[in-house]
Amino acid sequence: MPPNGNPDFATNIYNNWKERYIIYHSQEASANDLPGAENAARVMWDSRPFTVSEGIGYGMLNAFFAGDYDLVNQLFHYSVIMRQDGLRLMPWKTRYFQKAEDRTSATDADLDIATALVLLYAVTGNEQFKASALEVIEDIWTWEILPANLMIRPANAGFGGQHNLSYFAPIALRLFAWVDPAHDWMGVLNVGYEYMALVQSRGNGLVADWTSTDGYPVVPANNAQSTNYNRFGMESLRVPWRLAWDYHWTGEPRAKAILDQMSNYIVTTTGGDPSQARKSYPYELNDASEPDNLWNSHTKIHVGAVGTVCAMNFTNPDQLVFMDQCTAILNTNMNTLIDYYPDILQVIYSQLLNGLYQKPPAIPF
């Protein structure tokens, strides 16, 4: 934790986010709701009717580290009532408490949902949480891990030969190896670190949002990023969180090596001033374009970009002052409460940087 880390601020940020984005079934009950919806809660996406599985996964982790275990369970229940086609993976986009808008999964969400359940098992000893986690973990292995090379697929369908490095979740894979020794989760972890190092080695020290199996930027199959796929941008903003978390709990040297390179790039690019953090950077060596938009562009604080820059320096003792100054910026800007993505990222990074990411004693690594 940075010297000036403030756990109380992280708690306040969480409470503000929860009040704005968490919707309980009682707030919008309808005759069209799915069976069991009365026990569920959801995270509002960019517009009121919709929820995305990513938000449920992040929400469960945010609630866990806030000690809000009832909400973890309610959000998980929402993912369960939305399941389709016999899968135990949540459809990536849903509507109210009524239906799935798109049946395709999103692997990062499934990893985070299962992670939160294993963490609950670790602190409570409740075998039901473990059993629920193992159901999700089994389907992640079946549908979202490529058996030929142990690489992580972005979803249960499509995206052939395309990967999103922000879906690489080392702590999730370590937890799965603990509760599910029948599958080679540490193999997935090792492949993931090797692949990320490869991608980083081909660029300027950062990574690209979408990359091919051989480690080059590629337009994703869903065409969600037809122009910015080759930048460190809205997807990659989450990479430092996942790596810093792994280093924080395990001292993983590969996480440190990757983050230290990112730290060197970002400190140089900002001139050592974290207030110059941007929400998008070039990745390719021959890309002469500028970083995109100051973090306070569009009249609102892009707190996700600030948190990303802070976490890049998590493993670098030479940049402790930079990280502390960066965290101070994060801790003096409350949630905008108008934009789902930066608001939820602020909770994630605020909890990590302000000391709420405490490893449960029962976890054996």
- Per-residue pLDDT reduced to its tens digit, 208-251: 999 999 999 999 987 777 778 999 988 999 999 999 999 999 99
Domains of the chain, by residue range, sit at: 7-353
pLDDT average, residue stretch 122-127:
98
pLDDT at 275: 84
Query: Computed from CA positions of residues 336, 342, 346, 348, in that sequence, does the dihedral angle turn out positive or negative?
Result: positive
CB atoms within 10 A of CB 248: 20
Q: Containing H/E element for 197?
A: helix 185-201
Q: Is the domain defined by 7-353 classed in CATH 1.50.10.10?
A: yes
Least confident of 114-123, 222-231, 315-324: 222-231
Query: How many separate helices (H) and strands (E) can be counted in the chain?
Result: 12, 10
pLDDT in tens, 183-193: 999 999 999 99
* Stated pTM of the model: 0.96
Q: What is the pLDDT of residue 1?
A: 64
pLDDT value, residue 22: 98
What is the tens place of the pLDDT at every residue in 192-216? 999 999 999 999 999 999 999 999 9
Give the separation between CA 56 and CA 83, rounded to whole angstroms: 13
Give the residue-averaged pLDDT of 278-303.
Answer: 70
- The rounded distance, in Å, linking the Cα atoms of 39 and 75 is 9
Task: Please tell me the least confidently modeled range out of 115-124, 137-146, 281-290.
Answer: 281-290
Q: Does position 261 have pLDDT exceeding 60, yes or no?
A: yes
Residue with tokens 């809000």: 68
56-74 pLDDT, tens digit per residue, is 999 999 999 999 999 999 9
Exposed, middle or buried, 44 (CB in 10 Å: 0-12/13-18/19+)?
Answer: middle
- Would you state the structure tokens that stand for residue 134, as one six-digit string? 């193992």
- Residue 151 DSSP label: P
Position 328: which residue type? A
- Confidence class for position 302, pLDDT limits 50, 70, 90: low
Confidence band for 355, pLDDT divided at 50, 70 and 90: very high
Whether residue 249 contacts residue 171, with contact meaning beta carbons closer than 8 Å, is answered with: yes
Q: What is the pLDDT of residue 99?
A: 96
Confidence tier at 305 by pLDDT (50, 70, 90)? confident
Q: What does the pLDDT read at residue 297?
A: 44
Is the predicted pLDDT of residue 3 greater than 80, yes or no?
Answer: no
